[in-house]
Amino acid sequence: MGRQKINIAVLPTYTSNMFGYAGRILFVNLSKRKTRVKEVSKSFCRTYIGGNGFSVKLLHEHSPPGVDPLSPENPLIFATGPLTGTIAPSSGKYIVQAKSPLTGLMGESISSGLWGPTLKWAGYDALVVEGVSERPVYLVVDRDGVRFEDADHLWGEGTRETCERVRREVGGKPVSVVSIGPAGENLVKFACVSTDGYRHAGRTGMGAVMGSKRVKAIAVVGGGSVEVADLDGLMEECLRLIDEARGEETKVFRVYGTPAMVARLNRMGVLPTRNWSQSVFEEAERLTAEYLRENFYVRDMACPGCPIACDHVASAGGVEVGVDYEILYAFGSNWGIGDFEAVCRVAELCDQLGMDAISAGETVAWAVECYERGIISKGDTSGLELRFGDPEVLEELLRMVAYRKGFGNILAEGSRRASEVVGRGSEGLTVCIKGLELPGYDVRGLKLSALAFSTSTRGGCHMRASPYMFDVMEKVDRLRACEEYGRIVKEMEDKWSLMDSLMLCKFARAIIGTYEEMLKLYRLTTGIDMDMTEFKRAGERIYNLEKLYNVREGWKPSDDMPPERMLREPIRDGPSRGSVITVEEFKTMYRAYCRERGWTEDGYPTEEKIRELGLEAYKP
């Protein structure tokens, strides 16, 4: 194939007339080997802010209704926010968006690392990848253009090796690389996109979309900077925030990170164990943050510009890996494995194969419970004997999934589709919403989370409203469903839509989590004199735009129901024993939520709300 230089359709000397934004969106058509650039207006930025807002707007405009997620017509969209690439703390993030092959609805995932800032320094607010390449390629993007490089020699490599090899081949600084692993190449529906081999845009199968386009990696070479409206004011504000980040409000993240959740959830009796058949794990003490820090801690690792450094690298099982709570749930308690070294080995394997740990761990745990219940047998599993607590079985299953070998070919579709193939009552053992496997919070004992996971536009997700800030932290009665939760969830979804559009990390919410603080950073960076009413309205607009995309792609009210298991099977052990979500109490919360949103009681945006937000063009 050789190296080909493709010049973009603007002069390299282009300078944005806006602060905080590069002012350009780069489109790359793989089928035609052509590129084009679209300039973005201040009005566009003011209406959709950036990041999440930009990406869902672009998804509406460039993804045909009813598109097959793995077809060339489904665009893969990467976007940054106005704070990305600046000195704003915790702003080193990007979002990747497409129609999800796992859920068939809006798919998006966020990753940290240098790639987002580097894309901004290269002169782009967003990158839209269209079409499909005839052969495996990797893209090299810089201020002057895009070139297509042969990736045959990389096909089959793991995510970290791919990123390292591409970085060496491209050369120059700064350069950052996103890649897929074998799972993305083989179109595993929950394949992820890896950032420099260590961070991952994990959820909703964006790696499968990238693999369907035969793009192994995208390297970005940045050589510019981001001009801000008030550098002195922004510097003063950021120094204040950095100082606050050293205080008590962020201490848990700084010292222990998200693994601190293990002990808390286990004490509350809401730690999913052995495919959610239990809610207390008898070996949880060997997975707690305190145990890990005392026995396996190596160093802290921070994202670019982050003063918190919540990622604590551990050395165990022959590997060094950053372990968060969801990995300890997915490959620990939910698999009945209390050996941290084994969990680390599995996590490292999953990362290099390029799969979302939550969906991968939950899907294979579902298979084990099916096996133990006699729903499937060795004849179904390619002769593999499935059992909880065995890390070797887990590793073998993950390899089978990534390469779609034997029974792994069915599991690669995700637990919902796999259960439809297996049948025989296995459907009732899945734990997903809209086809997206749930994170590690047993919502039967966390009623506010039950509502938030269900209303999440990307499927069962804890990051769209962070409900654990309320029920896990016992700011509300976690075992009681009430209408007030509708207001809380709606307000958090709108606020986090702004945070994901600015591209700020939610783990910095203790120092930047208020509307006032976010708006102050936005004004200092962009110089856009937006008032609080307009700012809040932008968050609500973005969330409604996501919902309208889902409606366009076939969402129906039943898609928002909790998993069947959560509705019919009470928690059977521990402090939350007997707790279950009844259909009526869920509907009570859901109707209250819809009232707060100004939607119909079964979850459709009304014509009045659509007009109010200026979204008439996206009316279903």
Q: Supply the CATH number for residue 216's domain.
A: 3.60.9.10
443: number of CA atoms within 13 Å, CB side?
A: 32
The total number of residues written for the chain in this structure: 620
Residue 11: predicted pLDDT: 33
- Residue 420 and residue 543 in one domain: no
Q: Please report, for the domain that includes residue 283, its CATH number.
A: 1.10.569.10
pLDDT at residue 10 is higher than 60? no
User: Does the residue 243 lie in any domain?
Assistant: no
Q: How many domains does the structure of the chain reveal?
A: 3
Both tokens of 384, joined, read 């593999």
- Residue 32 and residue 72 in one domain: yes
pLDDT category, 284, cuts 50, 70, 90? very high
Which of 221, 243, 271 terminates a domain? The answer is 221
Nearest by Cα to 597 from 530, 48, 589:
589
Q: Are 497 and 108 in contact (CB under 8 A)?
A: no
- Residue 270 and residue 387 in one domain: yes
- Residue 423 and residue 501 in one domain: no
Place of tokens 């599995």: 346
Q: Which domain, by its residues, includes 210?
A: 4-221
Q: Are 67 and 168 in contact (CB under 8 A)?
A: no
- Residue 315 and residue 401 in one domain: yes
- Residue 260 and residue 358 in one domain: yes
Residue 16: predicted pLDDT: 66
Residue 172: predicted pLDDT: 77
Give the whole-angstrom CA distance, residue 527 versus residue 23: 14
- Residue 320 and residue 336 in one domain: yes
**DSSP label at residue 386:** P
pLDDT category, 7, cuts 50, 70, 90? very low
Beta-carbon contacts of residue 246 (< 8 Å; ≥ 6 apart):
254, 307
- Residue 29 and residue 147 in one domain: yes
Q: Are 9 and 36 in contact (CB under 8 A)?
A: yes
Which of 203, 221, 239 terminates a domain? The answer is 221
Q: Would strands 432-433 and 436-437 be described as parallel, antiparallel, or unpaired?
A: antiparallel
Beta-carbon contacts of residue 561 (< 8 Å; ≥ 6 apart):
433, 454, 567, 586
- Residue 462 and residue 419 in one domain: no
Place of tokens 């047998």: 377
User: Does the residue 167 lie in any domain?
Assistant: yes
Question: Helix and strand tally (H, E) in the chain?
Answer: 24, 18
Which of 221, 241, 267 terminates a domain? The answer is 221
Least trusted range by pLDDT, from 319-323, 393-397, 570-574: 319-323
Residue 307: other Cβ atoms inside 10 A: 18
- Residue 460 and residue 585 in one domain: yes
Q: How do residues 73-129 score in pLDDT, each as one tens digit?
A: 999 999 999 999 999 999 999 999 999 999 999 999 999 999 999 999 999 999 999
Q: How do residues 293-307 score in pLDDT, each as one tens digit?
A: 999 999 988 888 888
E-strand ranges in 160-285 read: 175-179, 193-195, 199-201, 215-221
User: Does the residue 248 lie in any domain?
Assistant: no
Residue 6: predicted pLDDT: 47
Give the whole-angstrom CA distance, residue 473 versus residue 249: 14
Give the whole-angstrom CA distance, residue 195 versus residue 178: 4
- Residue 403 and residue 533 in one domain: no
Distance of CA 203 to the CA centre of its chain: 4
Residue 2: predicted pLDDT: 45
- Residue 537 and residue 495 in one domain: yes
